[in-house]
Structure 1
Amino acid sequence: MGTGSKICSLTPRQESAPPPPAPIVINKYSDERLRFIVKSMSERLELYKEKVTDQYASSPEISPPVSEYKHRAEQKKKEEQEKKKKEALMDPVLGNTIDPFTDRRYIAWLSLVTMAFNYNTWFLTARLCFPYHTESAMPYWFAMDTLADLIYLTDSIFFQARKQFVKGGDIIVNREVTKNNYRNSDRFLLDTISAMPFDLLYFQFGFKSIFRFNRLLKADTFFEFSDRLESIMTKAYIWRVIRTIGYLLFMLHINACLYYVASDYQGIGGTKWVYSGLGSAYLRCYYYAVRSLINIGGLNEPHTVFEITFQMTNFVVAVFVFSSLIGQMRDVIGAATAGQTYFRSSMDGTVDYMVNNHIPSLVQNRVRTWYTYTWDAQGMLDESELLDKMPLVMRTAIAVDINLTTFQKIDLFKGCDQQILVDMLLRLKSIVYLPGDFVVKKVSSNSYHIVT
């Protein structure tokens, strides 16, 4: 090769690569479903990535350790104390919101509003039908009406606008948001109508209670008070029985008012069926309502078409109303004694089983004693049935509060991991043993021990 020669390297022309072969699709529908599943799993992975990385996620597979739980509880307690200190510096009326489910002061206030509502419900109907608007009584009626109206206004302005509510799983405590939520609700409309001063029509038409019947639109307060009171009472069936009796008394009250109106239409003392005009008008008419609605009998026979029609309608309504109240009372008493009924049926079934199988009397007596002692000790046969309906976080909290102290006293569990302790706490069940029962059997290499 010479000195001045030039070597040229010729590269063959790059030809374009052939396209990849098309995927073989055996079943188009299956291929689309598989692609959809892969896409969904990818989206789910991105959605739960943050939750998976949390080692204390509240799921049945991963339970928070006891130490972490106690730390969170202490931290939450400190935050609540700081919150209470801040709220103490704020105005007690306008500065904070109200938890309608746990605040006992709000429930006490609802009881006052309920009293005002019942005053309007009972006395407005009585004043409308009976001649109780005398010159001497009018100042007292006006004073009581004014007091009830002030309670209504206070409830609408200072309490209902501060009630916390749940939105999207979060408890809203901001007062501006709670106020706007109340103003956009149907209850605000009813409260506004119930507070309208139609009493000013007194100056034009005279002192008549019919102008105050818009006050009866405050009925939601009564039902809210009833629900809140049941939630905090240990024996809620007592209030249910009282409420049912109140319904019965109010129906008798309405019937007494209608009877006096019918008597006034026919003419007081005009016939033997109407009110005679002697004694207390309300008590006499109420006595008639009791005998009529409860179908005691002994009533004067109606003679005119109006009297016969009124009495027949009264009997028909009485059958419907009284049977409904009797059924409601039966349901209340049945719900109150459901636990004891279950205990009795379980005990009777067990005793029948032992008798049919000729179990010795000694064993039968011990079984009866166990049933009775278990019921007296915890008021139920299996308390785990209640806890199974709760979320895992609540069951963990209850289990830690009840059984953690007992676990800490046992040397066997002192070296265990916190996760194991939590899992064991969730699986514990309360069982009552009688003296002499075999609880633990311990077997060693040299001996056999029975611990009772």
Structure 2
Amino acid sequence: MRMGEKPSLSCCVCGHRRKILAPEDGLEEEPMSQSPTQALLGCDEKQKERCVVGLRDAWWFAHSLPERIGSATSVSSTVINNRLQELVRLFKERTEKVKEKLTDPDITSDEESPTASPAKPALPTAPVPPQGEQPEGEKVAEEEHYCEMLCCTFKYRPWLDRLRNYQFPSSIDPLTNLMYVLWLFFVVMAWNWNCWLIPVRWAFPYQTPANIHCWLFIDYLCDLIYLLDILVFQTRLQFVQGGDIISDKKAMKENYLRSQRFKMDLVCLLPLDFFYFRVGVNPLLRFPRCLKYMAFFEFNNRLEAILTKAYIYRVIRTTAYLLYSLHVNSCLYYWASAYEGLGSTTWVYDGEGNSYIRCYYWAVKTLITIGGLPDPKTLFEIVFQLLNYFTGVFAFSVMIGQMRDVVGAATAGQTYYRSCMDSTIKYMNFYKIPKTVQNRVKTWYEYTWHSQGMLDESELLVQLPDKMRLDIAIDVNYSIVSKVALFQGCDRQMIFDMLKRLRSVVYLPNDYVCKKGEIGREMYIIQAGHVQVLGGPDGKTVLVTLKPGSVFGEISLLAAGGGNRRTANVIAHGFANLFILDKKDLNEILVHYPESQKLLKKKAKKMLKSNNKPKDVKGVPGDSLIIPPKPDTPKLFQAALAAAGRTGGKGPLRLYLHADLIVALPSVELCRLPGVKREVKEQLIGSTPWPGKYPGRC
């Protein structure tokens, strides 16, 4: 009997063979002319032996069928049991994962991808007006800009509308309000008009009946500015009382009325002009207008507070002091010459040329004590000249000293920079440091000074309170540090404390920021410049270039057990300014924030695992599948099905083996057959375990 054939009975009488078919085959039995017993008796010994073998095979096939069915059932139950246990295990793992996420929402898994938020319904679009029509709102807006005057229509400018609708503030902050600084500028201009022009009009004959109306117009315009300053601005200035900022109208008015400023302002506006009707227009009657000096000093303080280079204004102001003293001296010299008589002596002004220029020239030579002046002749001239010399020496020395202080304060930083650089060069020369190192040190000093204007930023903020230093640090660094994945979800106050510990360091081109294998104790934030990460076999291949705002080395702050070693070389591509956070400073901060410390440790572990595990070639991020989809049908099994279909067989598939060629067979039948390789069986059956060989023969 060939392997794979069904047992059959051979009849020696009629020569017919009858196959033993299963009931489900659905094939009709072939008719037999004789019974099996008669056929067996009518056969010879050889044929009888063949018939007995066939009957034995048929008996084995019939009696082993229940056993084979039970074996297949046991195999299937084992597979189902194992699969159910696997499903229970996967469900438990997923439950633990969800529970961990619910208890600590800040911990995110690398394998999870955020779910897409539901799409918002589109807003209803406004109906499009027909052509030739404009929206109703635009029509009203355009009509508001037009006004009719007589027979014409004019269009208002938008800034005119804003000017018409402007409301004056009920209270003014004198420290921060720029509008108040602008108003003080006009007040100071009016004060300067009085201070500079009153002596000129009193001493020199520049005020005549022909131009008196111009002088009076500007005088009363300055008086109007003084009056508005008293009634409108000074009564609205906020003030501090008991640590509170008072902005009540009545309280602000009472505070101004009780101040020394109000008394001086009243003296400035004394109505001495009524004496014009008695003594004529005498400019000396307007001398009280020069007493509004408080506005001048207040303007200086407010202007210096908003200027970036206040020392320039200080130099100009000091120069103006010197010019004003010369201006007053020239006016006094012309008055003394007129008192003695113009050209009466060689000492007085002779009346030739421009009187103001000639007198100003004499005042410069006198106050600066240049010499070369004619000697005074009369007692009045001698006393006047002595007072001039004493005043000139005192005023000029004060001006020079003040100018030196202004210039010295403006160049104090540069002086400190030069002193540090000279001391460093002297130190390097003493210890015979190589020239290459000295040149790099000099380059660092020069670049740091020219880029920052100082050598150490922390020294500048030492005198400020912690709150102000924190505000400055937040404005400079918070936008960068808040984007670091390691610190997201941490306590906000912890990040604020961390910002105050950042140090600014400048790296020169090709300087190593960190080297591979060294112990990492700092985190770096790039403020300016670029750094390159090197790798490859030779360690010189540029893997990535980090730009301003990038952060690296953050895992080293919390890594332990050898995980805080640098994994690559990082060098500065050009001049780079980096902020550095030291590990020691971070540990001192985390002592006060235990919850943030736990969170940072968990995140550091996850980031280390993600860096160490190999990257998957394929895969879609998402939750792990508990019930994976069915694998595709093996190509060999599909070929077997196609071959079986071409044979035209009916009923369930059977197995025919010819030199290990598999045509078709259910998995339970295939696993029992010898001569079939295990790899082929696994390809056909999948992961179904093999029960082993069954006794019997095919």
TM-score normalised to structure 1 length:
0.77
Does the CA contact (< 8 Å) of 2:343 and 2:349 recur in 1?
yes
Q: Distance in 2 between matches of 1:171 and 1:273?
A: 60
Q: CA deviation at 1:448?
A: 6.3
Give the SS at the match of 2:385: helix
1:381 aligns with 455
Matched, 1:361 2:435: yes
Structure 2: gaps spanning 5 or more residues: 1-162, 520-561, 572-698
Instruction: Specify the code of the residue in structure 2 equivalent to 1:202.
Output: Y
Instruction: Specify the code of the residue in structure 2 equivalent to 1:404.
Output: Y
2:200 aligns with 126
Matched, 1:196 2:270: yes
Does the CA contact (< 8 Å) of 1:198 and 1:211 recur in 2?
yes
Per-residue CA shift, 1:279-337, capped at 9, x if unaligned?
22222111110111112222122222222222222112111110110000000000001
Instruction: Specify the code of the residue in structure 2 equivalent to 1:417.
Output: D
1:350 aligns with 424
Instruction: Specify the code of the residue in structure 2 equivalent to 1:142.
Output: L
Matched, 1:179 2:253: yes
Per-residue CA shift, 1:265-292, capped at 9, x if unaligned?
2111101110101122222111110111
Identify the structure with the greater strand proportion: 2
2:570 aligns with 451
Q: Summarize the Cα distance change of 1:407–1:134 in structure 2 as closer, same or farther, 3 Å threshold.
A: same
Q: CA deviation at 1:91?
A: 6.7
TM-score normalised to structure 2 length:
0.50
Match of 2:500 among 423, 426, 433: 426
Does the CA contact (< 8 Å) of 2:413 and 2:454 recur in 1?
yes
2:188 aligns with 114
Q: Summarize the Cα distance change of 1:89–1:293 in structure 2 as closer, same or farther, 3 Å threshold.
A: closer
2:444 aligns with 370
1:286 aligns with 360
RMSD (Å), alpha carbons? 2.0
Q: Distance in 2 between matches of 1:361 and 1:415?
A: 49
Greater shift in the superposed pair: 385-394 or 199-208: 385-394
Does the CA contact (< 8 Å) of 1:133 and 1:207 recur in 2?
no
Q: Which has the larger radius of gyration?
A: 2
Q: Summarize the Cα distance change of 1:264–1:447 in structure 2 as closer, same or farther, 3 Å threshold.
A: closer
Matched, 1:326 2:400: yes
Matched, 1:92 2:211: no
Match of 2:383 among 306, 309, 313: 309
Identify the structure with the greater helix proportion: 1
Q: CA deviation at 1:364?
A: 0.6
Give the fraction of aligned pairs with identical amino acids, expressed as a percent: 53
Q: Distance in 2 between matches of 1:353 and 1:412?
A: 42
Alignment of 1:222-241 (within 5 A): 222-241=296-315
Alignment of 1:147-162 (within 5 A): 147-162=221-236
Instruction: Specify the code of the residue in structure 1 equivalent to 2:283.
Output: S
Q: Distance in 1 between matches of 2:284 and 2:181?
A: 30
Instruction: Specify the code of the residue in structure 1 equivalent to 2:377.
Output: H
Q: Summarize the Cα distance change of 1:332–1:305 in structure 2 as closer, same or farther, 3 Å threshold.
A: same
Q: Distance in 2 between matches of 1:415 and 1:375?
A: 38
Give the SS at the match of 1:432: strand
Match of 2:332 among 254, 258, 262: 258
Q: Summarize the Cα distance change of 1:447–1:330 in structure 2 as closer, same or farther, 3 Å threshold.
A: closer
Q: CA deviation at 1:415?
A: 5.0
Q: CA deviation at 1:143?
A: 0.7
Q: Distance in 2 between matches of 1:174 and 1:355?
A: 67
Q: How many residues align?
A: 364
Match of 1:439 among 501, 513, 524: 513
Q: Distance in 2 between matches of 1:449 and 1:371?
A: 28
Instruction: Specify the code of the residue in structure 2 equivalent to 1:92.
Output: Q
Does the CA contact (< 8 Å) of 2:230 and 2:265 recur in 1?
yes
Give the SS at the match of 2:285: helix
Instruction: Specify the code of the residue in structure 1 equivalent to 2:242.
Output: G
Structure 1: gaps spanning 5 or more residues: 1-87
Q: CA deviation at 1:449?
A: 4.3
Q: Summarize the Cα distance change of 1:184–1:259 in structure 2 as closer, same or farther, 3 Å threshold.
A: same
Q: CA deviation at 1:219?
A: 0.7
Q: CA deviation at 1:100?
A: 1.0
Greater shift in the superposed pair: 167-176 or 248-257: 167-176
Instruction: Specify the code of the residue in structure 1 equivalent to 2:505.
Output: I
